[in-house]
Each structure stands twice: as C-alpha cells, then as structure tokens.
C-alpha cells in the first residue's frame, strides 16, 4: 500500500511568516503600480487621489454589514439555483447509475478494491462540483457588470468588498449544497455496493506514527536508509535478514490511551517482502518486533511473524510481558520518562529482505466509524471548493468570465500534486534540458541535455530569458496553493481516519491564508475599475 502521511506536514509558524512576506510583497507591488498609474494619468493630483482612495477603501472595510453581505449571498445563491446550476445532478445521477460499468463486479471485493470504490465516489463528486463552482464564480461578477445590474447595487450603500464577499459565500454555499447531496448519495452507494461480509473493511483506522525511523546496516551501524532492492520507487528501504540490520522507530506520547480495551498495544504494519532467491515459496518471510528500553537495558521480542505483503498485519502486544521469567509492564518499564517507546524490527530469513518506510509501522488506536472519515474527506473537498471560489471570484473582478475561468482552472491544475512537484523541479533546476527557450532549441536541434550550448551572445540572451521565466515561476510556486494538503480523500480511501494536525489543520490554514489576499484583491480590482463593460 502506498501512503506517506509525512508529505503533508506543515509548520504553522514558518508558514505564517512565509505567508506574511508573500502577502506583504504582493500588496506593495499592487499599490505601487496603481499609484504610478494614477500619477501618470492625473498628474500631481494623482498622489492625493491615491491616498484619498486608500483612506476610503480602509474606511469601507470598517463599514461591513452582515445583512448586506447576506443579501448578496442570497442573491448569488438564488441566481445559481434559478439559472439551473443544479442540473449537474443529472450528470451525477447518470454516472452513478452506470458506475458499475467502470467498477467491475462487486462479488469479489478485496481490501484494496474497497479503496477503489471510495476513491471513485470522492473523485467523482469533487470533479462534478468543481466545474459548477468554477463557472459560477468566474462568470457571476463579469455577467453582473455586462448586464450592468451591478449598477443598481453599487449605487446603494453596498460596499464593493461586500459584493466580493457575498459572491464568495453564496457560491461556496451552492457548492456545499451540491457537494452535500452528492456525498450523501455517494455514502449510501458505497455502503450498498460493498457486500455484507466485506463491510468491516469500511472503517477508519487511527494510526499513531513513529516520529522517525532509523536504520542499522548489516554490521549494526547507523545508516541513512536501508538497502535499495532495485525498485524504481524509493519509498521503502529494506533490511537484510539474519544480520544486524534493523529498522528502529520511536513512538512519542505512549500511554494508557494507546492501549486497546483489552490492554494490548496494537502494532499494525504493511511491510513489503523481497526475496533474493525464491526458496520455499509456500513459506512467508518472517520478522519480529522488539520493544526496548536502553536505560533499563530491557528488551522484549515478539515471536517471528509472517509478512503479509500489500495488506495489513496486526500484532497485539499485551501490556504485561514476561522477559526472563520476570513480568514487566510495557508502559512503566519500556516507555521512558519522555514517554517515548523504542521499537526495532528485524528480518529473520537469511539473504531475504523486508522493506519498510516510516509509515509502515504504527500503533493502531481504536477505529473510528467509516462515516466520520468520509465526511472529513467531504470537508476537504468543501475547502478546495472554497479555495477555488475565492480565487475565481477575485480573478473575475479583474478579467472577463472565460479568462477568469481558464486562469482559475490553471491555478487549480497547477496546484495538483504532480504538477506542483513538477513546478518545484523546474524551479530548483532538477529538470534536465534547460529552461523554456533552451529546451525548445535542444528539442529542435536534437541536442542531448549533456551537450553544452554554443557560447555566443544569442544564448546568453536565451539563458537570461529562461532565468527570468524561472524566477517568475518561483513566484508562482509560492502563490499557487499545494492541493495535496486538501487530499483528505486519500486517507479515507486508504482506510485511515483523516488526522487533524497533518491534514485538516494545514488545509484550514491554507484556505485561511487565501481569504485575506483574495478578498482584498477582488475588492481592490472592483474598486479601481469603472463598472462599464467594454
């Protein structure tokens, strides 16, 4: 199973600083450009006008009225409903009627097929709500300006920032309504599709991961990682059997609450097996788990356990364990004063390997019901919708509907995991073949990435251009959200509960980080433009 929850970790303090710097710079740039523009068009008066306007804008922010915002929200909402935004349910209905076609028969369901069902539902509902929200948020204000109905609004005491806010909230509510209906249907669909005997697979495991993993090599020395057995995917590291190679985890905050109702400590793993020779294929590879406390020189090792590759394997360790005929209490004797528990895993079979990553061994807490994780995943989609709404609405205050829609979609598209990572690679020069112009030249001239470009002024210009573009990309990379934070469906489809600190909190923070810049930008754009369609 593929899953790395560590990817989502976000440090709130550093992120906040980062955010403040980016927002500050953006504000400065926007204000500076508009001041220069005013001075250029209005002469010396321009400066006065600029500060008057700035004062008015700030004053407006203190005159926000919830009732007016709510009125504009309702207007947006009514508009969407009366303009038949809900016809998306037709597509939704059709998809689910024929979903069986894509899914294969549900007679033989395996754990990872449950995953396919859940991710089908969650993917479908997010990809159906997305266009609805995208269209509504990008075409609302431009259409309002084109039809000049906005004239009747801005000539009332409604502040333009209230229009932006009202639009955002209204569209998000519509999105949430559509999402909620689809999610309810999807929930029933999943539960119905999965036969009774596989129903226990629908659960939300609550893992407590080790804070870090360390490896010992075959001589017993600390190593950065284990052995790479030649997988393209370097996620797991392997330890060799019957040597001193070990993988060591440290679990923090282990206490009574980590035990299940019977007083056992549950370790779940998803180790992977690699054989250097096939040997007796009917016999699985074995590992054992050792709990140890270096301070007390105490260790308890489980019996050898078979690797259950690509599935989960649960090892229950009772609270009271016997070592050399003496009974010890795990929590008292093995957990140290810092409330840490050290766990070591070794492979037993000679010349065979067991692969593991940090997330492959965790303490499994009591499961939560499926619906809990499912609705958290839906919350994740709702937050994505909110983000898109905010970006879309503020884009639509500056440019026409179709352009705003394309812009917003591109931002969303770039925020997807693979694309964002590709952007990172470009920015950090990890992509071979040079920048935009250089790579085009290389492509056309059939030039390999290792060949040097000819040294002449033309290529200096090319490189400078690429360098400039790359720096622009660096900016984009910081402004474009990383949607991986919102990837709560991945947790649920992998059978996990959505954790607060590595998923819900970061996504809330990212969303919050976009509220102020988007609203202010939308307001600013609406404020400085003449509301005539041209």
- Interface with another protein in residues 356-395 (CB under 8 A): none
Cβ proximity of 485 and 507 under 8 Å: yes
Which residue reads 């983000």 in tokens? Answer: 387
- Interface with another protein in residues 225-244 (CB under 8 A): 231-233, 235
Confirm or reject binding of residue 351 to another protein (CB under 8 A): no
Confirm or reject binding of residue 98 to another protein (CB under 8 A): yes
Among 28, 32, 102, 500, binds another protein (CB under 8 A): 102
Site map (CB under 8 A) of another protein, residues 124-163, x = contact: -----------------------xxxxxxxxxxxxxx---
Residue 490 tokens, joined: 């991945």
- Interface with another protein in residues 176-215 (CB under 8 A): none
Angle at 523 (CA atoms; ends 129, 513), nearest 5 degrees: 60
Confirm or reject binding of residue 116 to another protein (CB under 8 A): yes
Taking CA atoms, 468 is separated from 254, 435, 449, 474, 480, in Å, by: 51, 10, 20, 10, 18
Give 307's Cβ-side CA count (13 Å radius).
27
Total residues contacting another protein by CB under 8 A comes to 69
Which residue reads 């180790």 in tokens? Answer: 271
- The β-bridge partners of 329 are 320
Q: Which residues contact 138 (CB under 8 A, 6 or more apart)?
A: 392, 393, 395, 396, 401, 402, 404, 405, 408
Site map (CB under 8 A) of another protein, residues 515-534, x = contact: ---------------xxx--
CB of 181 to another protein, least distance (A): 21
Confirm or reject binding of residue 68 to another protein (CB under 8 A): yes
Confirm or reject binding of residue 400 to another protein (CB under 8 A): no
Among 280, 303, 337, 452, binds another protein (CB under 8 A): 280
Confirm or reject binding of residue 7 to another protein (CB under 8 A): no
Which stretch in 70-78, 132-140, 292-300, 449-457 sits in contact with another protein by CB under 8 A? 70-78
Confirm or reject binding of residue 471 to another protein (CB under 8 A): no
Where does 43-110 have alpha helices with state H? 45-61, 66-82, 88-97, 99-103
Among 82, 192, 332, 446, binds another protein (CB under 8 A): 82
| Distance between CA atoms of residues 56 and 489, nearest Å | 44
- Interface with another protein in residues 16-55 (CB under 8 A): 41-42, 52-53
CB of 240 to another protein, least distance (A): 16
| Distance between CA atoms of residues 65 and 519, nearest Å | 15
Cβ proximity of 162 and 69 under 8 Å: yes
DSSP state of 282: T
How do beta strands 298-301 and 341-347 pair?
Answer: unpaired
Residues of this chain that interact with another protein (CB under 8 A) are 1-2, 41-42, 52-53, 56, 60, 63, 65, 67-68, 70-72, 74-75, 78-79, 82-83, 98, 101-104, 107-108, 110, 112-113, 115-116, 119, 147-160, 231-233, 235, 272-273, 275, 278-282, 284-285, 307-310, 530-532
């Amino acid at each position: 199973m593929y899953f790395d929850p560590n990817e989502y970790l976000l440090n709130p303090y550093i992120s906040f600083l980062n955010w403040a710097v980016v927002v500050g710079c953006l504000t400065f740039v926007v204000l500076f450009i508009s001041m220069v523009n005013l001075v250029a068009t209005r002469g010396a008066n321009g400066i006065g006008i600029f500060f008057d306007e700035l004062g008015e804008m700030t004053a407006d922010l203190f005159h926000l009225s919830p009732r007016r915002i709510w009125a504009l929200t309702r207007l947006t909402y009514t508009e969407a409903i009366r303009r038949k935004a809900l016809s998306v349910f037709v597509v939704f209905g059709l998809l689910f009627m024929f979903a069986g076609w894509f899914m294969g028969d549900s007679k033989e369901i395996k754990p990872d097929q449950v995953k396919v069902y859940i991710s089908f539902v969650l993917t479908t509902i997010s990809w159906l709500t997305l266009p609805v929200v995208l269209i509504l948020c990008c075409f609302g204000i431009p259409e309002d300006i084109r039809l000049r109905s906005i004239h009747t609004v801005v000539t009332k005491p409604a502040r333009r920032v209230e229009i932006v806010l009202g639009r955002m909230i209204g569209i998000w509510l519509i999105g949430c309504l559509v999402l909620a209906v689809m999610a309810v249907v999807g929930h029933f669909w999943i539960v119905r599709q999965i036969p009774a005997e596989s129903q226990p697979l629908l659960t939300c495991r609550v893992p407590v991961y080790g804070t870090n993993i360390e490896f010992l090599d075959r001589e017993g020395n600390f190593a950065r990682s284990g052995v790479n057995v030649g997988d393209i995917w370097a996620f797991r590291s392997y330890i060799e059997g019957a040597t001193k190679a070990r993988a060591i985890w440290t679990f923090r905050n282990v206490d009574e609450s980590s035990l299940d109702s019977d007083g056992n400590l549950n370790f779940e793993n998803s180790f992977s097996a690699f054989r250097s020779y096939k040997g007796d294929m009917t016999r699985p590879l074995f590992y054992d788990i050792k709990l140890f406390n270096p301070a007390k020189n105490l260790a308890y090792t489980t019996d050898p356990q078979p690797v259950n590759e690509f599935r989960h394997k649960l090892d229950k360790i009772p609270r009271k364990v016997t070592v050399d005929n003496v009974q010890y209490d795990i929590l008292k004797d093995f957990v140290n004063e810092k409330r840490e528990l050290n766990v070591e895993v070794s492979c037993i079979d000679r010349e065979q390997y067991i692969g593991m990553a940090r997330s492959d061994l965790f303490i499994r807490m009591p499961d939560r019901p499926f619906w809990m994780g499912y609705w958290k995943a839906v919350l994740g989609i709702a937050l994505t919708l909110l983000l898109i709404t905010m970006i879309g609405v503020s884009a639509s205050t500056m440019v026409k509907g179709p352009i705003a829609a394309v812009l917003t979609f591109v931002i969303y598209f770039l925020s997807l995991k693979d694309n964002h990572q590709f952007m990172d690679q470009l920015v950090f020069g990890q992509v071979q073949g040079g920048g935009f112009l250089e790579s085009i030249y290389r492509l056309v001239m059939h030039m390999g990435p290792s060949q040097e470009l000819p040294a002449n002024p033309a290529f200096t210009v090319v490189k400078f251009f690429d360098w400039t573009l790359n720096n622009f990309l660096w900016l984009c990379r910081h402004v474009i959200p990383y949607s991986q934070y919102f990837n709560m469906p991945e947790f649920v489809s992998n059978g996990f509960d959505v954790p607060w600190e590595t998923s819900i909190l970061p996504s809330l923070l990212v969303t919050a980080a976009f509220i102020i810049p988007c609203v202010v930008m939308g307001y600013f754009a609406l404020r400085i433009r003449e509301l005539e369609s041209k």
